[in-house]
Structure 1
Amino acid sequence: MAFVSYEPGGREYPTACLRSDLVVGDSVLIQSTTGTIKRGVIGQLKFLNWWCLSRIYCKVSEAVKSNNGCWELPSSIKISSLLSGDSLAYNLKKMCWIPMRTTHIFRHALTYTNMTLTANILVRTNGIHFQVLPKRNFAQIKPFEQQQEHPLEGRVVEHWLPHTKFNLYEGAIRFAKAIVNNDENLERFFKPVGVNDKRTPQLIKKASESMRRLELSNRAGTSYEDDEASYSFSDYASDMGGGDVYIGDGISYSCGRIVDDGR
C-alpha cells in the first residue's frame, strides 16, 4: 500500500497500490470508490495488509489531461505483482502445486512432493505458513482430495504480511520454486518475517497513550470517555469518499467507528 499526499507537505492518506514499479516521489492519480480522480504524490510505500478502498489508478505520466481539465486514463489499472492469496494460489497451481481441502483458518492450502520431501504452503488472511514434511509414499493426489496436515506437524514457519520488507507472496513463489527444483538449502525460508499487528508506530503510540490516560482516570475515580483510539484511525482514512481502512483480521475503520466483521 502507499501513503499519498494531495498537496505539498500535506497529510498522507493510505491507498491501495497494485504495482511494484512505483517509488516514493512518484506523481500518481488516485481513484476513490465513487470514481473521483485526484492527483497525489507517494510519500511512503509499506506492506501493512490494510484494505483501502481508494487506489492508485496510474502514474500521472500514463494519463493525458484533456482541454476541459479532465484526465483521460488508461483503459485498466496496471497490476505488476502478486497482491493476494488468490493470485498466489493461482500461480502455484500453474507450477503443479496441488490444492488441498482446508480448515477455516486457511484460505488456501497447496502441496508439492519432490524427490526428498513434501512441502505445503498454507495461506491465511494475514500471512502464510511454510511447512515441510517427510516425503509421501502414496501416489500423486488429485486436487482437493487430500485434507491439509495439521499446521504444527513437521517443520513449520509462520510468516505475517504486515511490516515485511518485501512482498511475501513473491517470497512464497521463491519457496515453491526451491521445492520444485529439489533445493536442499531451505534455511532462508524458515526465518519468520512480519508481525501480526497491522498498526503503524503512530497508531500504537496513540493507543498506548489512550490506555495510560484511561488508567490514570480510573485511579482518580473520574469518568473518562476516550474517543482518540477511534479518531486515530480516522487520521489514516482517505478523504476521497470516506474510504474504509482495513486494520486487522476482520477489523476495519469505517464511517467513524471500528467495525469487526466476525472473521
Structure 2
Amino acid sequence: MAHVRFTKTGRTYPVNCHRRDLISGDIVVVEMAAEQTLKVAQFESLEHLNWRCSNTIICRRSELQRNDQGEHVVVRHSPKGDVLETLSDLGGALINAGWRSFAPTSRAFQRIFARSFDTSGAAIIFRRNGIDYQLFDSPELPGIMGQQMSYAPSNGRLVRNWYYHSEEDLFDRTLAFAQALERQPLKIGPFFHGVGSKPPKPPREVDELAEIRDAITGGSGGLAYLCDDVWI
C-alpha cells in the first residue's frame, strides 16, 4: 500500500498500490471507489502492510490519456516487463517456470502452485495475508484431486510468510524460492525463516449505548431505564 497526499500540506492517506516504479513526489491518479471518481494526489511512500484500502492508485497523472472515444486509458511511460506487481504476475511466472496451478479445497486459501523435482516436491500457497512455502520429502505431491489440491501443513517442511511488515517484496522472494529449488545443491535454508508478521486484529467498534445498557441491566439484554421516560 502507498501513502499519498491530496494537498501539498495535507495529511497522508493509505491507498492500494500495484505499481513498483513510483517514487516519492510523483503525481498520481487515485480511483476513489465510494465517490466513483478520480483524484490527483502526490505519492509519498510505499509500505508492506497488506491493508485492504478503499481507494487505489491507477497510474501517474502524465500516463492518463483519452482515446478517440473520449475514454480514459493508461499509457505507461515504460512497460513493466517482467517486474512482479500483482499476484497474477507471480502466478504467471510460476506457471512459466513449470509449476502447476490448483484450486485449494479450502476457501481459507486463494491458490496453490505445486511442482515435482528429482527427489522432492514443493508447494507455494497463496493466502489472503501471505504466502506459504512447503517442501515434501518425495517428488509425489500429496492431496491432488483433479484440478484441486488440499493443503496439509503437517506434510513435509513448512514456512509461513506474511505480507504485513515483511519489509521486502514477498512476490520477489517467492519467485526466488521457486528458482532456488531448481539449483543443485539446494540452498533454500534462508527461505525457511518466515518474514513479516500476523496482522493485528482491527480495533473493536465500541457501542457506547450498549455498554451503558449492559451496565444498568447487568448484561441481561433487556431495555434499560435512564430517566424521564427514556429507555435504551
So what's the TM-score if we normalise by structure 2?
Answer: 0.71
Structure 2 letter corresponding to 1:113? S
- Give the 3 Å change call, closer, same or farther, for CA 187–35 of structure 1 in structure 2: same
The answer to whether the 8 Å contact 1:27/1:40 transfers is yes
Residue of structure 2 in register with 1:19 after alignment: 19
| Aligned-pair identity (%) | 27
| CA distance, structure 2, for counterparts of residue 21 and residue 86 of structure 1 | 18
Shift of 1:162: 1.4
Shift of 1:40: 1.4
What value does the CA root-mean-square deviation take over the aligned residues? 3.5
Q: Confirm whether residue 54 of structure 1 aligns to residue 55 of structure 2.
A: yes
Q: 1:191 aligns with which of 170, 186, 193?
A: 193
Structure 2: gaps of 5 or more residues: 217-232
What's the CA shift string for 1:121-148, capped at 9, x where partnerless?
011111111011112259xxx9945734
1:1-263 pair list within 5 angstroms: 1-33=1-33, 34-63=35-64, 75-76=73-74, 78=76, 80=80, 81-104=83-106, 105-136=108-139, 144=146, 147-182=149-184, 184-197=186-199, 207=203
What's the CA shift string for 1:165-186, capped at 9, x where partnerless?
1221221111111113345010
- Give the 3 Å change call, closer, same or farther, for CA 53–106 of structure 1 in structure 2: same
**106-115 vs 27-36, which deviates more?**
27-36
SS class of match (1:107) = strand
Structure 1 letter corresponding to 2:73? S
| CA distance, structure 2, for counterparts of residue 191 and residue 37 of structure 1 | 41
| CA distance, structure 2, for counterparts of residue 76 and residue 198 of structure 1 | 35
| CA distance, structure 2, for counterparts of residue 77 and residue 167 of structure 1 | 25
SS class of match (1:171) = helix
Structure 1: gaps of 5 or more residues: 66-71, 223-263
Shift of 1:55: 1.8
| CA distance, structure 2, for counterparts of residue 147 and residue 64 of structure 1 | 43
The answer to whether the 8 Å contact 2:135/2:157 transfers is yes
| CA distance, structure 2, for counterparts of residue 198 and residue 73 of structure 1 | 41
Structure 2 letter corresponding to 1:109? I
The answer to whether the 8 Å contact 1:156/1:190 transfers is yes
Residue of structure 2 in register with 1:229 after alignment: none
Higher strand proportion = 2
Structure 2 letter corresponding to 1:37? L
Shift of 1:120: 0.8
Structure 2 letter corresponding to 1:18? H
The answer to whether the 8 Å contact 2:120/2:140 transfers is no
Runs of 4+ with >3 A deviation: 60-65, 77-87, 142-149
Shift of 1:84: 4.2
So what's the TM-score if we normalise by structure 1?
Answer: 0.64
SS class of match (2:74) = coil
Structure 1 letter corresponding to 2:15? T
| CA distance, structure 2, for counterparts of residue 160 and residue 77 of structure 1 | 32
| CA distance, structure 1, for counterparts of residue 128 and residue 16 of structure 2 | 16
Shift of 1:63: 4.8
Shift of 1:159: 0.4
Shift of 1:64: 7.2
SS class of match (1:17) = coil
Structure 2 letter corresponding to 1:26? D
